[in-house]
């Protein structure tokens, strides 16, 4: 899984969310190895988090090396550069019935 955290300039959170949403719908979801992406926004407008699941690290490397993906992300990166981290799931929990 990849978690990208964006610290957003004042008043630009929705613009960034719109760009990331379009990128996910039009580009990322068609990449080999893509599973899901969740966009999270803080209520104070300062942060956006993209939580993306991929089949494996090789799929993430291929996506990040794709010039079309990089070009598509450029407008979002012009608003805020993300801190990107890859994680492995240590455990998962669901609500009790």
Encode pLDDT of 63-73 as tens digits. 999 999 999 99
Confidence of residue 6 (pLDDT cuts 50, 70, 90): very high
Q: Please give the pLDDT value at position 16.
A: 98
Per-residue model confidence (pLDDT) at position 30: 94
Q: What is the pLDDT of residues 31-76, one digit of tens each?
A: 999 999 999 999 999 999 999 999 999 999 999 999 999 999 999 9
Residue 33 near residue 59, CB atoms below 8 Å? yes
How high is the pLDDT of residue 49?
A: 98
CA distance 4 to 2: 6
Quick check: 80 and 8 in contact, CB under 8 A? yes
pLDDT, mean of residues 11-39: 96
């Amino acid at each position: 899984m990849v978690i990208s955290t964006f610290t957003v300039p004042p008043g630009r959170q929705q613009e960034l969310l719109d760009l990331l949403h379009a990128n996910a719908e039009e580009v990322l979801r068609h990449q080999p190895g893509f599973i899901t992406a969740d966009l999270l926004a803080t209520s104070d407008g300062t942060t956006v988090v993209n939580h993306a699941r991929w089949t494996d690290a090789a799929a993430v490397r291929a996506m990040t090396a794709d010039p079309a993906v990089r070009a598509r992300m450029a407008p979002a990166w012009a608003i805020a550069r993300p801190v990107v981290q890859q994680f492995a799931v240590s455990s998962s929990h669901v609500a009790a019935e």
